[in-house]
């Protein structure tokens, strides 16, 4: 029984290595879920995800707000990968204003 499982696993791995189309069919591919802090509603509907699902997954990664995400992908394993904006890039007016005040005070 165990030998059959190992052989099947080996053959599946070999087929995925040799055929990108087979790999895509079996494993799937990452889909763009978040762009510029806004969720992709079509992907959410296709994958039957709610905003609560996305927020929960982001919180588990230490991301407190979807608006901080520049580009987020729903990976083929169900995880969300999401690089963040730097605070100034995300439009954090407070940080920009403080930076501007410091510059003004220096001159």
**Domain architecture of the chain: domains with CATH:** 2-90 (3.30.240.20)
Confidence at residue 77, expressed as pLDDT on a 0 to 100 scale:
84
Q: Which helix (H) or strand (E) holds 46?
A: helix 41-46
Confidence at residue 22, expressed as pLDDT on a 0 to 100 scale:
80
The one-digit pLDDT tens for each residue of the chain (107 residues) are 788 988 888 888 888 888 888 877 777 788 999 999 999 999 999 999 999 999 999 999 888 899 989 899 998 888 898 877 664 354 544 544 444 344 334 44
Tokens of 19: 């055929």
Confidence at residue 21, expressed as pLDDT on a 0 to 100 scale:
82
């Amino acid at each position: 029984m165990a030998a059959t499982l190992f052989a099947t696993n080996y053959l599946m791995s070999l087929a995925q290595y040799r055929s990108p189309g087979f790999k895509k069919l079996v494993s799937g591919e990452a889909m763009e879920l978040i762009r510029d802090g806004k969720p992709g509603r079509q992907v959410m509907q296709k994958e039957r995800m709610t905003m609560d699902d996305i927020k929960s997954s982001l919180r588990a990664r230490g991301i407190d707000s979807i608006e901080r995400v520049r580009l987020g992908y729903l990976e083929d394993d169900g995880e969300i990968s999401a690089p963040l904006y730097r605070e100034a890039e995300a439009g954090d007016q407070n940080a920009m204003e403080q930076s501007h005040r410091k510059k003004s005070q220096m001159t």
